[in-house]
């Protein structure tokens, strides 16, 4: 609970900057609209206004400032507009509605979780291979690193299009991108975790004449638990980003990524912003969920207080 105050302070600072930024960002649009509605705006010609900064325009037309917070198609929506849009699309709409963010959230979350599960499973298997096989250590690890240098924005449309041409659509192609992003932190964390037992602990097992698999199950696997959880938290948020990126360039009609793109293309910034914040909240919830599982598991294992 000690972290509440610092977190609130940061949120308050961000809100403050946001609220201030809304005025200059939307001032030109508001001034143009006010003039069309018959109000007197300084300076009078749009061309002259273009030469002024948003802040300077606000100073000359203080009466218009409140309007920047409620403008219908703003360049930068105000926090209350985004909150209103989110309330409406999350709580007020039926979740079966195509405008419900809960519906779009599930469309994104399902492939995120599937991809995360695939990526985690694959990551653990690769890590075990890398730790136990010198050949895999030499051959797989460099490729795992190279795989993360390929821009996902370039790769995602290719995967979606190629799989689409093979008749595979919907959940699976997006899961593949999510898995692609999440397996890497799991591999890195698990390799480190599986190698974390000291030489002394390995010697101890040798004095017991323990088999390799006994060493894996009694020592290496439990020792890697703290490393695995650190990786899972990175991996699950990477999965969400991967799914959203997979939704962006491919004309997907549902999901957070599709909402962000639709809002952008059809001049509905509120839709984009609401989807953006909903995605951020989803990521925070997923990471929070895994933090809670981590705390409970490590406490049960007796490792939390150490």
In the complex with other proteins, the residue whose CB is nearer, 105 or 215, is 215
CB of residue 227 vs other proteins: minimum separation in angstroms?
A: 13
Say how far residue 230 (Cα) sits from the centre of its chain.
16
In the complex with other proteins, the residue whose CB is nearer, 201 or 268, is 201
Q: Does 159 bind other proteins (CB under 8 A)?
A: no
In the complex with other proteins, the residue whose CB is nearer, 169 or 214, is 214
In the complex with other proteins, the residue whose CB is nearer, 228 or 271, is 228
CB of residue 305 vs other proteins: minimum separation in angstroms?
A: 6
CB of residue 297 vs other proteins: minimum separation in angstroms?
A: 10
In the complex with other proteins, the residue whose CB is nearer, 73 or 206, is 206
Q: Where are the alpha helices (DSSP H) in 37-97?
A: 46-50, 54-60, 79-87
Q: Tell me which stretch binds other proteins (CB under 8 A): 51-59, 60-68, 194-202, 264-272.
A: 194-202
Nearest to 53 by CA among 24, 31, 76: 24
Q: Helices 152-165 and 225-247, interaxial angle, to 10°?
A: 70
Instruction: Answer whether 178's CB lies under 8 Å from 242's CB.
Output: yes
Give 269's contacts (C-beta < 8 A, 6+ positions apart).
73, 74, 75, 76, 77, 263
CB of residue 193 vs other proteins: minimum separation in angstroms?
A: 13
CB of residue 304 vs other proteins: minimum separation in angstroms?
A: 10
CB of residue 222 vs other proteins: minimum separation in angstroms?
A: 5
In the complex with other proteins, the residue whose CB is nearer, 179 or 230, is 230
DSSP structural state of residue 3: T
Nearest to 231 by CA among 190, 197, 281, 291: 190
Site string for other proteins, 272-301 (x = CB under 8 A): -----------------------------x
Which structure tokens are listed for 220? 């290496």
Q: Does 302 bind other proteins (CB under 8 A)?
A: yes
How many residues touch other proteins under the rule CB under 8 A: the total is: 22
CB of residue 205 vs other proteins: minimum separation in angstroms?
A: 7
Q: How far apart are the first and last CA of the chain?
A: 20
Applying the rule CB under 8 A, the residues between 201 and 260 that interact with other proteins are 201, 203-210, 214, 218-219, 222-223, 225
In the complex with other proteins, the residue whose CB is nearer, 4 or 200, is 200
Instruction: Answer whether 111's CB lies under 8 Å from 175's CB.
Output: yes
Written in H, E and C, the secondary structure of 82-105 is HHHHHHHHHHHCCCCCCCCHHHHH
Give 101's contacts (C-beta < 8 A, 6+ positions apart).
86, 89, 90, 93, 259, 274, 275, 278
Say how far residue 124 (Cα) sits from the centre of its chain.
22
CB of residue 213 vs other proteins: minimum separation in angstroms?
A: 11
Query: What CA–CA distance (Å, rounded) separates 270 from 207?
Result: 66
Q: Does 306 bind other proteins (CB under 8 A)?
A: yes
| Binds other proteins (CB under 8 A): choice among 40, 146, 200, 265 | 200
CB of residue 131 vs other proteins: minimum separation in angstroms?
A: 18
Judged by the rule CB under 8 A, the positions of this chain that interact with other proteins are 198, 200-201, 203-210, 214, 218-219, 222-223, 225, 301-303, 305-306
């Amino acid at each position: 609970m000690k972290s509440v105050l610092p977190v609130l302070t940061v949120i308050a600072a961000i809100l403050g900057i946001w609220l201030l930024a809304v005025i200059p960002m939307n001032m030109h649009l508001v001034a143009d609209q006010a003039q069309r509605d018959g109000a007197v705006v300084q300076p009078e010609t749009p061309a002259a206004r273009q030469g002024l900064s948003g802040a300077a325009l606000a100073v000359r037309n203080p009466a218009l400032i409140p309007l920047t917070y409620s403008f219908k198609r703003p360049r930068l929506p105000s926090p209350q507009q985004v909150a209103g849009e989110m309330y409406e699309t999350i709580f007020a709409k039926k979740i079966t509605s195509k405008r419900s963010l809960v519906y779009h959230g599930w469309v994104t979350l399902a492939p995120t979780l599937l991809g995360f599960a695939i990526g985690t499973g694959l990551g653990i298997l690769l890590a075990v291979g890398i730790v136990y096989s010198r050949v895999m250590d030499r051959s797989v690890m460099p490729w795992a690193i190279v795989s993360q240098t390929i821009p996902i924005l370039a790769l995602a449309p290719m995967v979606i299009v190629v799989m689409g041409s093979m008749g595979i659509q919907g959940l699976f192609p997006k899961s593949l991108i999510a898995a692609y992003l999440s397996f890497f932190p799991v591999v890195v964390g698990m390799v480190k975790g599986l190698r974390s037992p000291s030489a002394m602990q390995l010697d101890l097992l040798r004095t017991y004449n323990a088999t390799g698999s006994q060493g894996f199950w009694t020592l290496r696997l439990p020792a890697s638990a703290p490393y695995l959880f650190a990786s899972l938290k990175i991996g699950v948020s990477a999965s969400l980003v991967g799914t959203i990126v997979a939704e962006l360039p491919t004309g997907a009609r549902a999901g957070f990524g599709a909402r962000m793109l639709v809002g952008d293309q059809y001049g509905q910034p509120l839709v984009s912003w609401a989807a953006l914040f909903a995605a951020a909240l989803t990521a925070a919830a997923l990471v929070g969920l895994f933090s809670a599982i981590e705390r409970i598991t490590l406490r049960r294992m007796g490792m939390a207080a150490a």
